[in-house]
């Protein structure tokens, strides 16, 4: 479907070096890496916004290496969405259809259909500058999907949104991928976002693709110290999931983790360190996951502190807390603490 063969390109301070990729039809492919890794440039090379200095790009078996963007049939949603400010929502979505030779009634029909699908039917006459971040995101997706692209390229689609909207849109992106049977290449710097969405993912650093694999493999078998460090920054557990009480119970050794949703079978569960809260006393909380453990390490990690806690059942959790929280809790190695997090913060792969 999409194949990159040894693609290289430098642009400004960014570069893509010797990139090789192979995505199949309908695959949700995530490219993950820190800021400046060259992820956006990789996306723009696929879109045809820039041409590679060497290597080849194939879409559907066709060599498109030097085809202009308008001849590639890809949908591109940049990080800032780039909705045309002089057009309303309807005209934004209809923009690409004019170039497909659609008649007026066909354009109307397609715009309505796609707007219904993406639940933005009521926004069609709105000025794009009055939309919320989540709405803008949906309109940008609708505009890209309207022309029926073979590949949908998403540049950090969730980074500009608040955490609740982000949570909603994550499921939404997966649905789009399935309903429209479109291959998605999604770029992000967020590991949890990557592993919870991807069929397969690539980890990129300094222009190079370091590993391409299924998220579970990347988390459990990182191929390089760099990836290990990256994946070490989140909590990863392998366990057996059983649906229970409208939720999922995941047995990990002798512990039960509770996750939102319903799943059965072997799963990999991930929890962000910043989602795990700490307390000295048993917390008054609605969070389903509350465990007791011993502090085994406190380490500064940029603006936050990484607190490592070993539970009595032998699992280790890492929690990120702020300096003021650390001082308030007076945490030292050997202290007994409670750690807790919501079921919705547990992502099952």
Task: Give the interface with other proteins as residue ranges (CB under 8 A).
Answer: 44, 47-49, 68-70, 72, 74-78, 80, 82, 84-86, 95-96, 99-100, 143-144, 147, 149, 153
d(CA 4, CA 31): 13
291 and 336 Cβ atoms separated by less than 8 Å: no
Nearer to other proteins, 53 or 70 (CB): 70
d(CA 119, CA 43): 27
Nearer to other proteins, 23 or 191 (CB): 23
Q: Is 117 helix (H, G, I), strand (E, B) or coil?
A: helix
Minimum Å distance from CB 120 to other proteins? 17
Minimum Å distance from CB 152 to other proteins? 10
CA distances from 17 to 1, 14, 21, 283, 304 (A): 21, 10, 12, 50, 33
Minimum Å distance from CB 125 to other proteins? 18
Nearer to other proteins, 141 or 192 (CB): 141
Nearer to other proteins, 53 or 299 (CB): 53
Minimum Å distance from CB 39 to other proteins? 15
Minimum Å distance from CB 288 to other proteins? 42
- Pairing state between β 200-205 and 28-32: parallel
Minimum Å distance from CB 336 to other proteins? 52
Nearer to other proteins, 47 or 173 (CB): 47
CA distances from 202 to 15, 169, 195, 251 (A): 16, 21, 10, 29
Minimum Å distance from CB 31 to other proteins? 17
Nearer to other proteins, 85 or 334 (CB): 85
**Residue 197: closest CA among 173, 165, 231, 168:** 173
- Pairing state between β 183-188 and 151-155: parallel
Minimum Å distance from CB 47 to other proteins? 5
CA distances from 318 to 163, 202, 208, 269, 304 (A): 20, 24, 29, 14, 12
Nearer to other proteins, 70 or 116 (CB): 70
Q: How large is the angle between the packed helices 163-179 and 133-146, nearest 10 degrees? A: 20
**CA 174 from centre of chain:** 10
Nearer to other proteins, 183 or 248 (CB): 183
d(CA 117, CA 96): 18
The strand order across the sheet containing 183-188 reads 74-77, 151-155, 183-188, 28-32, 200-205, 208-213
């Amino acid at each position: 479907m999409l194949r990159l063969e040894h693609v290289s390109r430098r642009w400004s301070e960014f570069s893509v070096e010797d990139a090789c990729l192979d995505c199949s039809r309908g695959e949700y492919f995530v490219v993950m890496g820190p800021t400046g890794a060259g992820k956006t440039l990789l996306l723009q090379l696929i879109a045809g916004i820039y041409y590679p200095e060497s290597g080849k790009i194939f879409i559907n078996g066709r060599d498109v290496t030097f085809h202009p963007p308008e001849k590639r049939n890809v949908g591109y949603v940049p990080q800032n969405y780039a909705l045309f400010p002089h057009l309303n929502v309807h005209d934004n979505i209809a923009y690409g259809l004019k170039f497909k030779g659609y008649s007026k009634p066909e354009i109307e029909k397609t715009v309505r259909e796609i707007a219904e699908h993406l639940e933005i039917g009521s926004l069609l006459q709105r000025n794009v500058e009055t939309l919320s971040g989540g709405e803008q995101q949906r309109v940008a997706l609708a505009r890209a999907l309207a022309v029926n692209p073979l590949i949908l390229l998403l540049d950090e689609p969730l980074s500009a949104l608040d955490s609740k909207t982000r949570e909603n849109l994550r499921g939404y992106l997966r649905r789009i991928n399935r309903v429209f049977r479109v291959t998605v290449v999604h770029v992000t710097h967020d590991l949890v976002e990557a592993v919870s969405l991807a069929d397969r993912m690539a980890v990129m650093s300094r222009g190079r693709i370091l590993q391409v694999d299924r998220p579970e493999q990347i988390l459990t078998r990182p191929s390089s110290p760099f990836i290990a460090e990256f994946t070490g920054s989140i909590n990863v557990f392998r366990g057996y999931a059983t649906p229970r009480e409208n939720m999922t119970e995941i047995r990990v050794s002798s512990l039960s983790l509770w996750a939102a949703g319903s799943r059965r079978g072997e799963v990999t569960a991930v929890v962000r360190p910043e989602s795990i809260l700490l307390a000295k006393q048993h917390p008054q909380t609605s969070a389903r996951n509350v465990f007791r453990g011993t502090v085994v390490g406190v380490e500064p990690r940029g603006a936050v502190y990484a607190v490592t806690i070993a539970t009595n059942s032998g699992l280790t959790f890492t929690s990120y807390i702020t300096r003021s929280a650390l001082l308030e809790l007076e945490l030292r190695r050997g202290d007994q603490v409670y750690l807790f997090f919501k079921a919705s913060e547990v992502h099952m792969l």
